[in-house]
Structure 1
Amino acid sequence: MPDWSYRTLFRPLLHRLSPRTARTFTLRSMAAVSRMPAGTFLIKTLGHMEPSSILESQIGSVRVTTPVGLGGAVDPGGIAHNALAQLGFGFLEIGPVEAAKGTDEPSIRMDHDRETIDYPNGPETIGLEEAVDQLRRRKHDRPVFVTIATDASDSSQAAAQHLAARMAQLSQAGAAGFSIECLSSRQLRTAHEALPFISRITLAVLEMENQSERKPLLLYIPADYPDDSLQELLANLDGSVWSGVVIRQPAGSGETGHALGPAGKEAGIAKVRLVRELAPAGFIIQIAAGIHEPQDALDAIRAGADHVLLNSGFVYAGPGLPKRVNDAILYERVQRTPEPEPPSFWKHWGWMCLLGTGMIVGGITAWLIALSTVLLPYDEAFLGTTRHSLHEANTRLLHFMSHDRITLAGTMISIGILYYQLAKHGLRHGIHWARMTLLTSCVIGFPSFFLYLGYGFFDPLHAAAAAVLLPMFLLSMRNNPDRPSRDPVNLRNDRTWRMAVWGQLCFVLLGVSLAVGGIVIAGVGVSHVFVPTDLAYLDAKTAQLESINPKLIPLIAHDRAGFGGALLSDAAALLTISLWGIQQGAKWLWKTLLFGGAPGFAAGISVHFRIGYTDFIHLLPAYAALFLYIAGLILLYPYLMNRPKAA
């Protein structure tokens, strides 16, 4: 459920349900997908979050791949963690955990205008057994931290020992570390009240834990906790046990209980600054307050936070938020490193430019031939007859074959433009998604050159083209390590970004539609060859066409199968660009989509009108695809053609 489907289709529907129903449905659906064969691979593919090693950090002894964590409020019981772990999170939270879960489910309210989730009766908790069960059943490799809620009304040493015992049980089940939630209680609002209780927890942990196996321990601090009490508390916190703190939303921000939303950001960041001033070097600071867009995360990290946790922001902004935050943090860090020398044209990317140029030249040549002679000498040799004889047998036959070959030519030109642009602006700079786009498209495209062999027709021109272009593809994939992008990234959930999400949806649908069309056309080409509207245009039956020349249908099948394979290859490139490559300010990408799609649509639609094959049903898929193409370009224009504002 990436942003282009969540914000456009699913979120409006989910907001019509009760908050608990919507959350339960979403989490269980994602969990169900993750349990399917290749389900987690599908989720990872749609989001395509490949963390850079530059983003790695530590929480105590625990390595995390990105500084973005999933807060416990999103999925307290970890129901969908196997799915959510694929979206770019470096770690995840479950909890708060209590000794036993209450029998009553706390109510949840949502204020969509303020992007707030309100818990009138306090945060939702889970029981110890449920937490242990979820930890043991997890199948992802992200560390899971457990938030433990303590009963401040019982501040005895026995209560602290019970808490330590729960930590030991959860640790054995696979918990990577713990966050203790106790300071929200009115009874512990001052350091004088809180320090004795925290000291008992510290002592209990020291008594029960093996020093070599000690897990990171963090203290949850409400953003509205008194500064003087916080200063005294930090001064007396045992650094050998406590690894850091988590700054959370102010406890009293809801109507009567606790609310999560952007309103907690400023207080949270202010508290981060204070803790960073007071805490020793290496002290971990996390913030779980008001992170709703990448700019919020950057503000928190600049104030001194090591990690950010997403709660309400993940619900309102969408599942693409962790990737967007990671990209923003990565961009800031990359700017501090020297820019490497660009690789030479011949190292790898230039070969793909040549491949793209070859496809463009080949497409133009094929278009010119299809507009003139239609058939090449080896086509006539295969048939054992001339084009004039075919025209005399059926006056529309050459027009029909021309229409197949011109649509193929337009698709080849489109592919060539996409390849050239992806090589120059992506492969040249080591952009991972660009390399994967080219790899996917070429792996589909090259085998499709030989679909015609099933009918016994060997096309020497296609074979020669494949023999020349294949080495270029292989050379372009060599010695090409991934490098982080140095282009500015989107930081705001503004109107431009929201429009772009709709534009991305248009191009994803277009890519899927063209892929289905390519599969259908290739399938028809190697089986029935004709659809009913084809035969209606030709005013002939298949048997009549066979009687004209027994090799005629294999030749037409070769054209159709080749076009279907090329269209599928084109669709694969367009789809992967739409899924992974939409980045604010990428002017080259908007121009690539414009000029890359234009030849295909111009060829596919104009040739039908030129030869009089204008059946509405036959052209309806092309009209629908053209609508998605134009709408997508319009919606993406402000986003791709304007660089993001500096943070």
Structure 2
Amino acid sequence: MYRLVKPIFFKFDPENVHHFVVKRLKWFNDFFPFGKSVLRGSFDVSFKGLEREVFGLKFKNPVGLAAGFDKNGEYVEALSNLGFGFVEVGTVTPLPQPGNDKPRMFRLPEDAALINRMGFNNKGVDTMAERLRLLKDRHPDIIVGGNIGKNKNTPNEDAVYDYIKCFDRLFDVVDYFVVNVSSPNTPGLRALQEKEPLMELLNTLQKRNCKNNISRPILLKIAPDLTDEQLDDIIEIVKETGIAGVIATNTTIGRDGLYSGEKLKGEMGGLSGKPLTKRSTEVIRYLSEKSNQAFPIIGVGGIHSAEDAKEKLDAGAVLVQLYTGFIYEGPGLIKDICKSLA
């Protein structure tokens, strides 16, 4: 079915189509008679052998949705009914912000890729927190990750306060946190990946985490463009701060080996999809082997098939996430991966 409608979707602006599709998915899930049952029956695969326990959380399967798809936590239930084992929302910032000027998302069909420069467009952490509170009241079993960032106008020296605000506001309504310092679309953000500011940020959040009777797993999302020396620093930082793990990887600023035309390749932003498959797997394998599997890794980047997911898991990932592959291959990809793993 998705193969029939995808050519139609791809004739229109990617961001507009995204909003059109997810709104109708939510309507079908919430209001169509038996909509939830239809979605689960068509896509959800539940086998005991698919279950995973990671970070002290029980996942019904290891295939999650990466951050960026549901920036405001509006579609979590419907997306979960498509078969995702967990849904990561955000990136969210303390204050609402519009993001970068449009157009800001571009398809590269020849490369099965996307370029985006969204710029953390979201409705703010208060809106998300209230929405997730209502969701958790109804569906406490859905695993939700909160991907947090800083507002564009917040200088890096004050960035820690933005992360604290998001952390405190979402603490009661998410199951784990992801610290996003690796998006290429917020000016200066990637400078926070350097060892000293990153240690300060993660240690601050860990101290707040330990002040609560219940702590939440904190993960760090890293860029695929880091050198081996920088990855060594990441391993050391994870061990020293005691955070729960790493998400590898975010989008890349590289453009090597693309088949698409120069105009598309020249668009600013982060590249995702198949061109990232190999590099993200390399990063996962490096972190896993060099750390002697000292911490869990969620693998994301260029997963367009069950084989791609297996490569990430074989390289050392314990869970995987989809984004661009989900857009190009459709919801059947989740089922394919789960069936192959089962």
Give the TM-score band, short-chain normalised: 0.7 to 0.9
Q: Relative contact order: is structure 1 or structure 2 higher (C-alpha 8 Å, sep ≥ 6)? A: 2
| Alignment pair present for 1:116 and 2:119 | no
- The amino acid of 1:98's aligned partner reads T
Q: Would you tell me which structure has more strand in proportion to its own residues? A: 2
Structure 2 Cα separation of the partners of residues 165 and 143 of structure 1: 21
Which of 299, 303, 314 in structure 1 is aligned with 2:315? 303
- Conserved? CA contact 2:183–2:270, under 8 Å: no
| Alignment pair present for 1:57 and 2:56 | no
**Tell me, which stretches of 5 or more residues in structure 2 are unaligned?**
255-264
Structure 2 Cα separation of the partners of residues 60 and 41 of structure 1: 30
SS in 2 for 1:224: coil
User: What is residue 38 of structure 2 aligned with on the other side?
Assistant: 42
- Conserved? CA contact 1:123–1:258, under 8 Å: no
Matches within 5 A, 1:61-72: 61-72=56-67
Structure 2 Cα separation of the partners of residues 310 and 93 of structure 1: 10
SS in 2 for 1:113: helix
- The amino acid of 1:42's aligned partner reads V
Residues 136, 117 of structure 1: CA spacing in aligned structure 2 closer, same or farther, 3 A cutoff? same
- The amino acid of 1:94's aligned partner reads V
Residues 280, 178 of structure 1: CA spacing in aligned structure 2 closer, same or farther, 3 A cutoff? farther
Cα deviation, 1:238-294, whole Å, max 9, x if unaligned, reads 466411111124431463111221100100000001000122545110122100111
Matches within 5 A, 1:492-511: none
Residues 225, 118 of structure 1: CA spacing in aligned structure 2 closer, same or farther, 3 A cutoff? same
Q: Shift of residue 104 of structure 1?
A: 4.9
Matches within 5 A, 1:307-326: 307-326=319-338
- Conserved? CA contact 2:14–2:107, under 8 Å: yes
Matches within 5 A, 1:451-470: none
Which of 3, 9, 30 in structure 2 is aligned with 1:7? 3
Q: Shift of residue 188 of structure 1?
A: 7.1
Which of 18, 26, 29 in structure 2 is aligned with 1:31? 26
User: What is residue 146 of structure 2 aligned with on the other side?
Assistant: 146
- The amino acid of 2:9's aligned partner reads L
- The amino acid of 1:75's aligned partner reads D
- The amino acid of 2:313's aligned partner reads I
Q: Shift of residue 38 of structure 1?
A: 2.8
Structure 2 Cα separation of the partners of residues 31 and 16 of structure 1: 22
The structure number with the bigger radius of gyration is: 1
- Conserved? CA contact 1:72–1:96, under 8 Å: yes
Cα deviation, 1:87-111, whole Å, max 9, x if unaligned, reads 2211101111112232356522212
| Alignment pair present for 1:292 and 2:304 | yes
Alpha-carbon RMSD across the aligned residues, in angstroms, is 2.5
- The amino acid of 1:63's aligned partner reads K
**Greater shift in the superposed pair: 51-60 or 91-100:** 51-60
Residues 238, 304 of structure 1: CA spacing in aligned structure 2 closer, same or farther, 3 A cutoff? closer
Structure 2 Cα separation of the partners of residues 59 and 307 of structure 1: 8
Cα deviation, 1:213-243, whole Å, max 9, x if unaligned, reads 1111110111111110110231133466411
| Alignment pair present for 1:213 and 2:214 | yes
- Conserved? CA contact 1:121–1:258, under 8 Å: no
SS in 2 for 1:88: coil
- The amino acid of 2:74's aligned partner reads I
Matches within 5 A, 1:466-615: none
- The amino acid of 1:247's aligned partner reads A
- Conserved? CA contact 1:244–1:283, under 8 Å: yes
TM-score relative to the length of structure 2: 0.85
Cα deviation, 1:62-109, whole Å, max 9, x if unaligned, reads 211111001123222233221110122111011111122323565222
- Conserved? CA contact 2:221–2:250, under 8 Å: no
Matches within 5 A, 1:77-88: 77-88=72-83
Structure 2 Cα separation of the partners of residues 35 and 122 of structure 1: 30
- Conserved? CA contact 1:161–1:201, under 8 Å: no
Q: Shift of residue 170 of structure 1?
A: 0.5
Structure 2 Cα separation of the partners of residues 303 and 126 of structure 1: 36
Structure 2 Cα separation of the partners of residues 211 and 238 of structure 1: 21
- Conserved? CA contact 1:74–1:315, under 8 Å: no
Structure 1 Cα separation of the partners of residues 71 and 25 of structure 2: 15
| Alignment pair present for 1:134 and 2:131 | yes
Cα deviation, 1:120-158, whole Å, max 9, x if unaligned, reads 4546555212321331232443211011123697344x5
Residues 268, 123 of structure 1: CA spacing in aligned structure 2 closer, same or farther, 3 A cutoff? farther
Residues 21, 183 of structure 1: CA spacing in aligned structure 2 closer, same or farther, 3 A cutoff? closer
Cα deviation, 1:507-531, whole Å, max 9, x if unaligned, reads xxxxxxxxxxxxxxxxxxxxxxxxx
Q: Percent identity?
A: 23
User: What is residue 283 of structure 1 aligned with on the other side?
Assistant: 295
Residues 66, 97 of structure 1: CA spacing in aligned structure 2 closer, same or farther, 3 A cutoff? same
SS in 2 for 1:213: coil
- Conserved? CA contact 1:249–1:264, under 8 Å: no
- Conserved? CA contact 1:223–1:267, under 8 Å: yes
SS in 2 for 1:92: strand
Cα deviation, 1:519-558, whole Å, max 9, x if unaligned, reads xxxxxxxxxxxxxxxxxxxxxxxxxxxxxxxxxxxxxxxx
**Tell me, which stretches of 5 or more residues in structure 1 are unaligned?**
331-647
Q: Shift of residue 59 of structure 1?
A: 3.0
- Conserved? CA contact 2:93–2:162, under 8 Å: no
User: What is residue 166 of structure 2 aligned with on the other side?
Assistant: 166
Cα deviation, 1:393-412, whole Å, max 9, x if unaligned, reads xxxxxxxxxxxxxxxxxxxx
TM-score relative to the length of structure 1: 0.47
Matches within 5 A, 1:321-336: 321-330=333-342
Q: Shift of residue 30 of structure 1?
A: 0.7
Residues 99, 123 of structure 1: CA spacing in aligned structure 2 closer, same or farther, 3 A cutoff? closer
Residues 169, 120 of structure 1: CA spacing in aligned structure 2 closer, same or farther, 3 A cutoff? closer
Structure 2 Cα separation of the partners of residues 6 and 32 of structure 1: 18
Residues 161, 317 of structure 1: CA spacing in aligned structure 2 closer, same or farther, 3 A cutoff? same
